[in-house]
Structure 1
Amino acid sequence: MSKTTPEPSALDRHDEGTPGIGATSSDIQQDYDIEHAARVSAEAAVFMRDRVLSIVSHDLRGPLNAIHSWAHVLERKLASEDPGIARAIAGIRTGVEQQVKLIEDVIDRTRSATRNLVLHQVSAPMQPLIEAEVANIRATVARARNVAIAPQLALDGVSANLDTARFGQAIWALLAYAVETVAAGGTVELLGKIAGGRVEIAAVFAPAPADATPGAAPKTGGIFTETPIDLDNGALPLALPTRVVVAHDGELSDEELVDGRRRIALHFTGRQTG
């Protein structure tokens, strides 16, 4: 007679993605890595969306301003006695005002959260903040694409006034973009230094050729692979790190080196405390 094995109870099971009583520390760490990568990936997508909305808002206002100006010219030049012309010009102005209100109520209001960042800044050491994001990228996006990350950080004892959550997201998004842009199996160098009271964190990598077959999209963080490269002069994937570092009175630089590699860096104020 066959013996039926009883199904494990809920207390004995470790459902996928949910640590149970039987979960090991490595299981919990893996769940945390996946959750953190997914959360920051979603944040980066929001910043990219809002950057697109900003471009749309700007590009729509240009022709609307021109239409409004020409309506004013027509009103002055054409015979005001003609009620048909007066009604036509009034209709044009009403249409322009409706479009402007739509832009303000829908487009501009949607992106207000990232346009006006609320920062909670504290004095934070840079080295552990960066190392935590590097560890997460290695365990998620880099592992999925078989990309190595080679940190060369000289930031022991260096601190800065930061919103640590937001700045961690900026570092994550910068590294994730580099990992997704480099050829599968390649290496991303991560450099960190301080000079003259300015901290620089740079990702240096050789981008995959434009006609290369893309690698398998990672399960988490694969938000940059489908981004149109011609939109916003190619800077759209860096919307989150750009916005965050600017909010910290810093800037983002993006340059092509003489050997064809790309160097993207965050620059901001820091201090040597140790």
Structure 2
Amino acid sequence: MMISRPASPRRRVPDMRLSTLRGMGETAIITGAAGGIGAAAARRLAAAGARCVLVDRDPGVSDMAAAIGGTALVGDLTDPELSERAVAEAGDGLRLLVLNAGTNCADKDPATLDLDRYRAVVGVNQHSVTYGLRAALPVLRRGGGGSIVVTASLAALHGVEQDPIYTMTKHAVIGLVRALSGPLSREGIRLSAVCPGLVDTPLTAGARDRFQAAGIPMLSADEVAAAIEETLRSGEPGTELVVHPGRPPVRYVQAPIP
């Protein structure tokens, strides 16, 4: 449900708009950056002057980094050490963090769930977000603040029966954003989420023809990346930005608990 109501008062956080940060030597970390949304976000941030550290298990992330003058780290984000390496590579200039890596799950019935696949999906979609925050927050605090956006999904806001495990992990991510955005905002760190509908990326490539045949519209990766960049720069702490094809992005506001 999307409803409108006045936003609750918040402590003012440092202005992190594009015009403020250009030329200040900021560094951004983007996970899941070999293609799709992560690559599109990296291109946008690099064009705005950020030094980018790109992280992905796909070795193609090295080509992406070379194309934008960034740095690539290839590895498995379910290992917390990779997030620590990314933060070390970013150094004290780290100001922007895009926790974008994600994957879906083929299993619909828990009774026949492949446990190795389950652990892998939860590791990428859920644990790697926590690992990224754990590694980055000390640097952002030392630097006086920063901005973090997690790529969630419409599946974070309602149940998607076609992929219940993916839905579970995205709900967990939104729960983390809701719980941490207030405390972090008081330290000058913005934490938000972008929740897109279907996006035309390598993750959905196998079903693209079916979506098109059914007349289901899809977002481009760059449309979602634009929403990520805008949220990084000027979004309110705790923003859950819903992105639908053909519509302006809109902030999702939870209904009050009865």
TM-score by length of 2: 0.23
The higher radius of gyration belongs to 1
TM-score by length of 1: 0.22
| Higher normalized helix content (fraction of residues) | 1
